[in-house]
């Protein structure tokens, strides 16, 4: 990450007497890469969720009953699991003594920010990408 090149913060097991639960290199602690990655995945799911729920809402007209409930519940259950997993990863990094709480919070914020940027760029590039794919398919290259 770019922030690692600017800010050097020693890991907790270097600066303090910490009972190590896992072995880790004595490199920079700030920010937590594990938290950044897990919250980036969470962010991609989170920023895609409204589109999925709107699709399920439109689908309710065609199908009724249990399928409609499943179409709404599945994305919400998936999001709940993703939130729990991302938070557990962040807490585990602090618990095992390789990060400070601020490291995982910044990792989470930077992961969510990266997910938002990628989501915006993806939506901007979807039409040109589809045009290129259709062109290549017409040429029978794909």
pTM: 0.68
- Work out the percent of the chain whose per-residue pLDDT is above 70: 68
Torsion angle in degrees (nearest 10) through CA of 68, 70, 71, 77: 150
Q: How much is the average pLDDT of 93-118?
A: 87
pLDDT recorded at residue 96? 81
- Work out the percent of the chain whose per-residue pLDDT is above 90: 18
Give the distance, in angstroms, between the CA of residue 16 and the centroid of all CA atoms in the same chain.
30
pLDDT digits (tens, 9 = 90+) for 7-54: 556 566 556 666 666 665 555 666 778 888 999 999 988 888 877 777
């Amino acid at each position: 990450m770019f922030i690692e090149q600017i800010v050097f913060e020693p890991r907790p097991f270097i600066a303090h007497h910490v009972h190590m639960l896992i072995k880790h290199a004595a490199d920079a602690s700030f920010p937590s890469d594990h938290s950044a990655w897990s919250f980036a995945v969470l962010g991609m799911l989170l920023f895609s969720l409204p589109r999925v729920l709107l699709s399920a809402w439109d689908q309710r007209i065609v199908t009724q009953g249990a399928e409609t409930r499943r179409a709404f519940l599945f994305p919400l259950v998936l999001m709940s699991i993703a939130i729990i997993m991302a938070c557990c990863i962040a807490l585990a990094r602090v618990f095992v003594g390789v990060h400070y709480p601020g490291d995982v919070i910044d990792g989470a914020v930077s992961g969510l920010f990266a997910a938002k940027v990628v989501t915006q760029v993806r939506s901007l590039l979807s039409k040109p990408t589809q045009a290129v794919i259709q062109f290549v398919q017409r040429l029978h290259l794909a």
